[in-house]
Structure 1
Amino acid sequence: MKLQKIGWSGLISILAALTIGEFRFIPNSQFKIINSQALAQTQAERKAEADRLLDQGIEQYQISQFQAALQSWQQALIIYGEIKDRQGEGKALGNLGNAYFSLGDYAKAIEYQQQLLAIAREIKNREGEGAALGSLGLAYLYLGDYAKAIEYQQQVLAIAREIKDRQSEGKALGNLGLAYFSLGDYAKAIEYQQQWLAIAREIKDRQSEGAALGNLGIAYSNLGDYAKAIEYQQQVLAIAREIKDRQSEGKALGNLGLAYSNLGDYAKAIEYQQQWLAIAREIKDRQSEGAALGNLGLAYDSLGDYAKAIEYQQQLLAIAREIKDR
């Protein structure tokens, strides 16, 4: 029985980039007679407030306070609209799209990203255009529309190469690999991940290097080459510990557990899953906690210890219901 697979980590980092919903400008007709000096001061003050809200939302997002982040960015969006700051408006829209993506509302994420895309093209911001296209590609990927996902990521790749943004080029390649992986084309998935890995090493981006290695490990695992899968996941584990990325460390441990389980080494599989479980609980990642519990249950099931298998699956069931993961 195969254990639950851990998702790929090659997602574009889309926090402070430009990314989209319907927004109406709010007129301030009562201020029409203010003199130009006072208006300039008011504009500067309003922009400073919007910038503060934008940064506040980013801080909230980074600690998974998504609803609070949405509120901060909505307020920033209103102010940017009032002062006709199109770049700021685009940033707020993009971050709103990213937050809805994190909440699993891909339709709303797409709506916001499309608006960002329009603004980025209007103000000729190629970097923002690429970020919007990348986010759209990811949203369609999660909706299972792999053809559309590939189309958007190819556009990102073209822009990244045009503006010589090696980091975005690498992430686009990684996301293309993810799309081909989802289509079951592991050879093409590996080819794209290898290209991402090369760029990550070239620009010394350790986090992206770890993500590419992890994705390669998962691809080889799906091809049944568990020795190579273990080799890649061990490299991920070393990088995650070096850069103190606890979430990636946990997922690498979980993927190592899966590989050993597929090799029939259930004792080692359980050891790795227990380590992942401990990290998931430490960082309060309920989804990963549930996945680790489920994998432990399946390992004990393979060992014929059905009482323990049931115990772990019951714990997974409770978490799945709590986080509404149908």
Structure 2
Amino acid sequence: MTSPLLPVASEESPLKVDMQTTQNRANEILASNSVSISSLAKWDFPPQPNPQLTFLAQAQTNQDRADEALQLYQKGTDQLNRGEFREALATFDQVLVIFRKIGARQGEGNTLNNLGAVYHNLGQYQQAFDYYQRALAIRQEIGDRTFEGTTLNNLGVTYDNLGQYQKAFDYYQRALAIRQEIGDSAGEGATLNNLGVAYHKLGQYQQALDYSQRALAIRQEIGDRSGEGTTLNNLGGVYYNLGQYQQALNYYQQALAIRQEIDDLAGEGTTLNNLGGVYYNLGQYQQALDYYQQALAIRQEIDDRSGEGTTLNNFGLVYDNLGQYQKALDYYQQSLVIKQEIGNRLGEGTTLNNLGLVYKNLGQYQKALNYYQQSLFIKQEIGDRAGEGRTLNNLGSLYDNLGQYQQALDYYQQALVIRQEIGDRAGEGRTLNNLGSLYDNLGQYQQALDYYQQALVIAQEIGDRTGEGSTFNNLGSLYDNLGQYQQALDYYQQALVIKQEIGDLADEGATLNNIGFLLEAQNQLELAIIFFKQSVNVREEIRDKIKTLPTEIQQSYTETIDHTYRNLADLLLKQNRVLEAQQVLDLLKVQELEDYLRGVRG
């Protein structure tokens, strides 16, 4: 009997890394506005048509109100920098009333802009957009070029987060032109950073690196510590998506040190989340969970809805890989609610993809297909190339499992083209592995071997332990099918070490099962029974963790792994160990044992 393969369908969400694209804009906005507001209090009042004494009295009154507005404005600035978004909202609302009352147009524009920043940080992008547009109209009306650049930049950020990348690029380029023209180095650094983020989201990693490096050079040169932390974080994100995890860790650690030093809570939450993502991809799940827990605590504390949705999604990824499907579903559903609520299309597409993955692992293929198709629609609609490649790969894996190999091949080929085109090394390795699995299933072993070897080189090169373990398992299966049992056993053992080391229960159970098949083929029945029993124990651990799921889902999962139980029972019966066989079959709740026994013995 051929061994089951491990096509790496456990494709992660790209937004384990959520690039910090709002807090840096908020800081940049506030730093520049503080200068403008100070001067505003001195001369930006409209002339009054009253007699001289009344005019002087009103001027003094306006000055008093302006001083009050400045104090409140600084308070709002501090609240925004600390991530106290609800409090900042209330404070800036008060400021806006005062500036309108005294006719301070520049102050009104600045406050509208910052209210946009608050709503942006709250993930309420449509409201952010509305405030930015009102701010832009005032700034263009009064000829305020510096802050026109700021608001154009922020509108770019809003479209970026809504997944409307072409509009985002248009606004960023307009902002960059103004900032370079007037010599606004801080603003230029911010917009270069944001262009890097947009290219990152589109999977155009070399352009992302180029813009981010230019931004970093400017920010270090002018001593912009907050901006430096942001761009270091984003460079970590690019290297993460390129599968260069050690470089990603280095950049994230530098970013975290700066953000903790300057008390940037929102930024700290982002980088803690991203460190969790690296450890997740390295298969170090406990460290990943620790970082995610720290990130979630901060994000909930400061009411960062977008960040909270991202980190909840990432918890789901870890528990999915640990075979704790109920927990994974719970976290994904919480994440999806938030992302849909705040209009985060990119994040919504990611979490829909991940929900599909859980249902695929549970054997609920129609549900998985529905989620994947919803995800693919969003990703293609918003131009998320990296995400599109990920979901195409997962659709291929689903059809592979259903034995519909031509459809699987079509999806894998589409995924591979995208991943190679955008330089997604980790994703390329996963899809190469899956193509190997497909050709293995078709009995085209030389082609399968070629793909597996390419996948293994990439996985080892970038430190992708999950992918490496799966490809080792699949190489074992291939040599098993070729009757080269010693080579097969060597690969299986290497796979098993990795799967146990990283805590991947589902794949550990599969590899133990495969070793059992191999030993059975060599007539080493006692050893085969030992490995089948270990596989059953692992799978019982997973089943125990999904007991709260509906019975139908529990049963569909059991159907994906019941061959291990039946093979074990078969071997035990051949040795007349009927009671042990009964116990194994009882785990499957098989009531008609006699029918089964007749089938085995006949």
User: Closer, same or farther in 2 for the Cα pair 1:298/1:100, shift >3 Å?
Assistant: closer
Q: Are residue 232 (structure 1) and residue 408 (structure 2) matched?
A: no
- TM-score, normalised to structure 1, is 0.75
Q: What is the Cα deviation at residue 109 of structure 1?
A: 2.9
Relative to its length, the structure with more helix (as a share) is: 2
Q: What is the Cα deviation at residue 262 of structure 1?
A: 2.2
> 2:229 & 2:421 partners in 1: Cα distance?
36
Which of 249, 259, 263 matches 2:438? 259
Which of 166, 174, 178 matches 2:357? 178
Q: Are residue 72 (structure 1) and residue 254 (structure 2) matched?
A: yes
Which of 448, 451, 455 matches 1:272? 448
SS in structure 2 of the partner of residue 13 of structure 1: helix
**TM alignment of 1:21-170, pairs within 5 A:** 46-47=225-226, 50-51=229-230, 54=233, 57-58=236-237, 61=240, 63-65=244-246, 68=250, 71-79=253-261, 83-170=262-349
Q: Is the 8 A contact 1:253 1:275 kept in 2?
A: yes
Deviates more, 1:170-179 or 1:54-63: 54-63
* Aligned residue-pair number: 292
Q: Which runs of 5+ in 2 are unaligned?
A: 21-222, 504-602
Q: Name the structure 2 match of 1:311.
A: 487
> 1:216 & 1:17 partners in 2: Cα distance?
27
Q: Which protein shows a greater Rg? A: 2
**TM alignment of 1:239-258, pairs within 5 A:** 239-258=418-437
Q: What is the Cα deviation at residue 64 of structure 1?
A: 1.3
Q: Is the 8 A contact 2:455 2:471 kept in 1?
A: no
- Give me the CA root mean square deviation: 3.2
Q: Name the structure 2 match of 1:191.
A: 370
Q: Is the 8 A contact 1:14 1:135 kept in 2?
A: yes
- TM-score, normalised to structure 2, is 0.43
Deviates more, 1:279-288 or 1:172-181: 279-288
User: Closer, same or farther in 2 for the Cα pair 1:325/1:98, shift >3 Å?
Assistant: closer
> 2:423 & 2:239 partners in 1: Cα distance?
21
Q: Is the 8 A contact 2:356 2:367 kept in 1?
A: yes
User: Closer, same or farther in 2 for the Cα pair 1:152/1:259, shift >3 Å?
Assistant: same
Q: Is the 8 A contact 1:270 1:299 kept in 2?
A: no
Q: What is the Cα deviation at residue 179 of structure 1?
A: 1.5
Q: What is the Cα deviation at residue 170 of structure 1?
A: 0.6
> 2:226 & 2:331 partners in 1: Cα distance?
32
Q: Are residue 11 (structure 1) and residue 13 (structure 2) matched?
A: yes
User: Closer, same or farther in 2 for the Cα pair 1:4/1:138, shift >3 Å?
Assistant: closer
Q: What is the Cα deviation at residue 54 of structure 1?
A: 3.7
Output one character per residue of 1:175-231: Cα deviation in whole Å (capped at 9) or x when no partner.
111121222211111110111111112122222222112112212222233333223
> 1:103 & 1:156 partners in 2: Cα distance?
23
> 1:278 & 1:311 partners in 2: Cα distance?
18
Q: Which amino acid aligns with 1:160?
A: K
Q: What is the Cα deviation at residue 57 of structure 1?
A: 4.8
Q: Which runs of 5+ in 1 are unaligned?
A: 19-43
**Percent identity over paired residues:** 38
SS in structure 1 of the partner of residue 354 of structure 2: helix
Q: What is the Cα deviation at residue 233 of structure 1?
A: 1.8
